[in-house]
Structure 1
C-alpha cells in the first residue's frame, strides 16, 4: 500500500524539522533532505498538532496524486478536517488526483492562542498590495516566504535580501509587523520528478497548479499560532469567471484552517484592473509615493521591459496614474513595443495572461486614451485575437521526451540531470504570476 509517514516533528528555537518516510513507490518524489522551515519567532511552545501542519500541507497533495495514505502521530483536529475539504476540491479539479486517507494516532482539539491579529502573505505586487489596502484597518502582519519563487539556494540570496528590505521598508512606513519564513519545501520534495509525472496534466508547474495554496498557508501555522493570528489572508491571482486549474482558489484557501486561525482567499471579486483601481484610490488619498514590485526579471525594482512590467504600467495608466511615479519606467513610445512583442510572440504566455490582457481591453473600451500612441495601440488591440496573441505553448518535443523517460528513470539520476538540462535549455521562459 502506498504510504507517507511523518516520522518525527521537532521545534528547536525558531526552526521546525520533520522526517518523512515513504513506501518504495513514492521514494522518487522525495529527496534525502528532512523538511525544514525557519521562522523569526520562537515556536518551541507551539503544540505538536500545529507543528505537524507545515509538512502535512506539502506532502498530502503528493499522497493524493498517488492514492496514498498519510500517517502522523498528532494533528490539530481543525486542520485534519480542513485537509478533507481541500482534498475534495483538488480531486474534483484535477482528474489525475486519486485521494487518500490521513491517519493520526491522535487528533487534538487545541485551545487557540488567537488574539484578534491578522496576517497577509505579501510581496508588494498588485494583488497583495490591494489586499493590504482592503484590510489596512486591521494592521496585518506582512508575511513573506522564501522557498518557492525565491529558492533557498545561495544564488537567490540577493533576491531574498531585496524582498526582505522592500517588505520591511513598507512595514516601517505603515507601522506594521513583519514575519519572514524560509523553507526547503520544494527541495525537500523532488520537484523535478513531480514535473516529470504530472506536468502533462497541468497548465503550470506542480506547486503553482496543485500545491501552493495549501502549501504556503500551511507553512504559516506555527508562526500564526505563536503570534495569535486569527485571520490569514492570501491575495487572489484570478477572479470570478476565470475557471483555471490553479493551486490557490477560494474553494481551496477558504477551507484552510487550524486552531484559532481561519485563512481567506482575498479579492477574488475584483479583476486585476479593479485591484489597480483600489490601489490608485489609496495612492491619491493616502500614499502618493507608493511603488509596486511585479517584475518577472528583477527583485530590486522593475525592469520596465518584461511583459508583466508593461502590463502593470498600462493598467496603472488606465487607473489614472502615471506609471513612472510608481515604479515603472514607461513612456507612450512603449505602446509600440508592446504591440510588436504581442504580434511577434516574444513573450511565452498562458491563460493567466490572456485573461489579464482581456481585462485591460475591457477597461480601455470605457477609458479615454491619454495620448495618440495609446489611442493607436488600443485601436489595434480592440481588433486583436487574444487566442492568437496569447496562447499556451506546448513544451518542445525534447522536454516531453525527457519527462516521459524520467517517469521510469531512477529518481536520483533524473533529479540530478533535469535541473542541469533545463538550465542549459532555458531559451524560453514561462512567465510567472506572483502576488
Structure 2
C-alpha cells in the first residue's frame, strides 16, 4: 500500500497551494515538486481548511483507490467525507473489472453548515453543453464558473484561457450574472501518461477521462461555493443514455457529491447532442442567439474539426444559420462543408457516427423544408459515413505510409522511455 499525505495548505488572498508527500511507489505518478494550486477571483482567507482540502482530496482520491493506498489529511468537511463512500461505490460499479481499494485517514472531520443564499452555480465553458444548462436554469441567476487547469507550477499567460475568460465575462455581463474564475495545475500535476501505462488496459479507459476530470472540475469551485453559500453546483452532461460508457463525469458519480450544505447536479443527461442544439436554436427564436465556443483549447471555433462540424451541421438541421452562433463560414457553404467532412471523416469512430451524425441526418431529413442551404441537402442526406470513412482511410494510409510508420516507431520508443522513468 502506498501513502499520500497532505503536509501543508498555504492560503494567500485568492490562492491556495497544497504541498504533499507520497511514498516511493507512488512518486512516479506525480511531478517531483508534489504541488497543486488553485487561484480564484475571490479572496479565500475566510474559507475553513476542512473545505479547502476538498479540491486536493478530489484530485488524488481516484489514484488512492486505484493503487490501494492511504490518503492522510488533517481536516476534511463532514458532508464531503461521508459522500466519498458513495462516490467510490459509483466508480466501482462503472469499473467492475478492477477492484478499487484504498481509504482516507482524517484527523479531524468538521461539520460545516450554512443557509443557502445563492440558488445555483454552473460550470461554464461556453460550449453547447454548458450553454444548454444555462438556458435550462437561467431563471435561477446562476454564478458562472469558468476554469483553466493546464498551468504548470504557476499561472502563466495562455491565449486559450484569456479567450475563455473574456467570453465568460462577456456572457455574464450580457445576462447580469457574476463570474467565478479559476486557474490551476490540476491537469498537469499528475503524470497521466504514467498512470495510463500502468492501468489503462485493466481500466479500459484513460486516467483523465475515466477517473480524474469530473472530480477535478467539480471540486475546484467548492471553496467559493461554500464562501458564497451556494445551494447547488450544476455540471452539464457530455454524454447521454444513447451511449453507456465509463466517464469520470456521470450522473451516478456527480450527483453523489456533497459539501457543507451544498450539492451537485449533473444536468441534461437525458438529452442527446441534437436535443441540445434544438434547445439552443429554440431559445434563439425568441432571444438573441447565443454564440457557443466549441473548440477545446482553441481561441475560436476552427470550423473544420469534427466537433465544430457536427455542431454546424446540427444547427443547419434545425433550420438556422450557424454564423449566428459563432461559426464563421464561407459563401460556398455546401462545397466547403463537403470538403471538410471528407477530410475529417477518416477520424470518426463508429460511436460518433451513431450518436451524432446519424441523428443529424435524421433531423435534417425531418426538417428539410426549413434548411437554409438546399444544395447541401443534395449530398448530405445520402452521405454514407462508414463507406466514406473507409475510402478516406485508404487514401490517407497510401499517401502517408512512411510518416505513419515513423510515427508508430516514435510512439513505441516514447512508451519505452516513459516506462523507464
* Contact 1:33–1:187 (8 Å) recurs in 2: no
1:255-289 CA deviation, whole Å, 9 max, x = no partner? 1111111111111111111111111121111224x
Structure 2 distance, partners of 1:251, 1:137, is: 26
Structure 2 distance, partners of 1:331, 1:58, is: 43
Tell whether 2:108 aligns with 1:106. Answer: yes
1:382-402 CA deviation, whole Å, 9 max, x = no partner? 6756986999x9997447634
Structure 1 distance, partners of 2:132, 2:292, is: 10
* Contact 1:358–1:386 (8 Å) recurs in 2: no
Tell whether 2:143 aligns with 1:141. Answer: yes
Partner of 1:6: 6
Structure 2 unmatched ranges of 5 or more: 398-403
Partner of 2:293: 293
What is the root-mean-square deviation in Å for CA atoms of aligned residues? 2.9
Structure 2 distance, partners of 1:205, 1:246, is: 9
Give the number of aligned pairs. 406
* Contact 1:74–1:106 (8 Å) recurs in 2: yes
Matched residue SS, 2:366: coil
* Contact 1:210–1:247 (8 Å) recurs in 2: yes
Partner of 2:240: 239
Tell whether 2:253 aligns with 1:252. Answer: yes
TM-score (norm 1): 0.84
Q: Which has the higher contact order (CA 8 A, sep 6+)?
A: 1
Of residues 121, 130, 133, the one that matches 2:132 is 130
1:286-311 CA deviation, whole Å, 9 max, x = no partner? 224x2111125731x32222222221
Structure 2 distance, partners of 1:15, 1:133, is: 31
Partner of 1:76: 77
Structure 2 distance, partners of 1:62, 1:389, is: 42
Matched residue SS, 1:135: helix
Partner of 2:281: 280
Matched residue SS, 1:186: coil
Q: How does 1:34-433 map to 2 (within 5 A)?
A: 34-94=35-95, 95-96=97-98, 98-112=100-114, 114-148=116-150, 157-200=158-201, 205-288=206-289, 290-296=290-296, 298-299=298-299, 301-330=300-329, 333-343=332-342, 348-350=347-349, 353-354=352-353, 355-368=355-368, 370=371, 371-381=373-383, 384=386, 397-398=408-409, 401-402=412-413, 405-406=416-417, 408-410=419-421
* Change over 3 Å in CA distance of 1:199–1:402 after alignment to 2: farther
1:136-167 CA deviation, whole Å, 9 max, x = no partner? 0011011011114x778877611111111111
Structure 1 unmatched ranges of 5 or more: 411-435
